[in-house]
Amino acid sequence: MRVPVVLLSGIDPDAMAASMVGLQFDLPDAVAVRHAIDVERGVLTRTVSDLTGVIETHETLLEHACVSCAIREDVLPTLERLARDGRWRSIVAHLPVGAEPAHLCAVLTWDTRLARFLRVSAVVTALAAAGIEQDLLGEDLLADRGRHTAADDRRGVGEVLAAMVEYADVLALDSPAAPQARALVAALARPGAVVVDGDHGLESAQLTARLHQHGRTEAWIEPARTAELPPLEGEGVWRLDLRSSRPFHPERLLDSLESLGAGEHRSRGCFWLPTRPGRVLEWDGAGGQLSIGDARPWGRHEPFTRVVLTGVGAAPAHLRAAFEHLLATDAELREGFADAAWRVHEDGFEPWLGPIREVA
């Protein structure tokens, strides 16, 4: 029988600790394994416990103190070992602070050997209710708060936490949140995800069943998603769903990225460039920080541009116009493709997107 694993992620150590205690007491015959990374020492600490107390504590020196190393070198082997031990009916896996659960879920889904013993039953993201809006939409870096996972970790708090919220099956607030903050979490969360306040949790049977469905989650976090978004719930939250079949103009995008990416909002989606027409390009921003990347080929799908922005209060009036300004006009596209102006070896995006892969 495969042992259900509840993955716990977050960027606030206290909120994660509170959720872990609750899960450990609520789940049947549960064992909890907590991993923590000490960046300065380059050490990964593993602590395994159940209701009888601490079972083991172990430190591992990491060649590079990063999350991917931790998962490969210790988290996955430990989960397999605990599942095969046979003493426990469920596992709570407290990931390192700032570690996103998506990679671990993907490995546990597609690794046929591990899948014989383990299955992810739920992904829980713990949040500090008092700081939700600042955490999701503010400018802080993880390093500013001492919660980075590597010496060169320059990720923003909002970027990381928003991705965790969007991936989660359960959003566990450490106390009741203000209505606007709760509405912001609900606006970012996958449809069907559960938001719980304080001590009001889920039944253990729900957590160990099949709350996590990998395909449904991947569809929600997909950069080039096409599905309509559910209506917003609650007050004080805004959303703009900006779409076009046209690409962004490379030069204008380089010059004016901040016109759409800067500001106290969450933005994510996809775009394409006429210099790279075969590639899905990812847009991922929060709190004024923006990342763009090369996601995958478009394949048989027609390229499109779609950026969804979410924030609190009133939506900035300039965002729609900024989006339209970044798009290439129909005339620019006709002329550019007709005279091969877009068939270039470099377009200025190499530092973020890599080299242009195909030049006719």
The predicted model gives 321-336 an average pLDDT of 96
The total of other beta-carbon atoms located within 10 Å of residue 111's CB is 13
Instruction: Decide: 307 and 323 in contact? Cβ < 8 Å.
Output: yes
Mean pLDDT, the chain, whole residue set = 92
Say how far apart CA 182 and CA 205 lie, in whole Å: 25
User: How does pLDDT run across 118-157, given as a tens digit for each residue?
Assistant: 999 999 999 999 999 999 999 999 999 998 888 888 899 9
Say how far apart CA 139 and CA 264 lie, in whole Å: 8
In CATH terms, the superfamily for domain 3-221 is: P-loop containing nucleotide triphosphate hydrolases (3.40.50.300)
User: How does pLDDT run across 225-270, given as a tens digit for each residue?
Assistant: 999 999 998 889 999 999 999 999 999 999 999 999 999 999 999 9
Residue 116 three-state SS: coil
Domain covering 237-353 in this structure, CATH number:
3.30.1220.10
Domain ranges of the chain: 3-221, 237-353
The predicted structure's pLDDT at residue 203: 81
User: How does pLDDT run across 261-305, given as a tens digit for each residue?
Assistant: 999 999 999 999 999 999 999 999 998 899 999 999 999 999 999
Q: Identify the band that residue 360 occupies on the pLDDT scale cut at 50, 70 and 90.
A: very low
Strands 3-10 and 90-94 turn out to be parallel
**Cα dihedral sign for 312, 138, 36, 65?**
positive
Using CA atoms, how far residue 157 sits from 11, 102, 154, 170, in Å, is 7, 17, 9, 19
Q: How many CA atoms lie within 13 A of 235 on its CB side?
A: 0
CA neighbor of 11 nearest in space, from 192, 103, 144 = 144
Which amino acid appears at position 88 of this protein?
Answer: W
With 90 as the cut, is the pLDDT of residue 188 above it?
Answer: yes
Q: How many CA atoms lie within 13 A of 173 on its CB side?
A: 23
Say how far apart CA 39 and CA 20 lie, in whole Å: 22
Using CA atoms, how far residue 117 sits from 2, 4, 136, 207, 351, in Å, is 4, 9, 35, 17, 41
Locus of tokens 């046929």 = 112
- Name the region of 205 (left: φ>0; alpha: ψ -120 to 50; beta: rest): alpha
Rounded (to 5) percent helix, strand, coil in the chain: 35, 30, 35
Q: Identify the band that residue 201 occupies on the pLDDT scale cut at 50, 70 and 90.
A: low
Using CA atoms, how far residue 245 sits from 62, 163, 270, 307, 326, in Å, is 46, 26, 11, 12, 13
Q: Strands, E, within the chain: which ranges? A: 3-10, 30-38, 43-50, 53-61, 90-94, 118-127, 170-173, 194-197, 237-244, 266-273, 276-286, 289-297, 305-312
Residues 6+ apart with CB under 8 A from 218: none
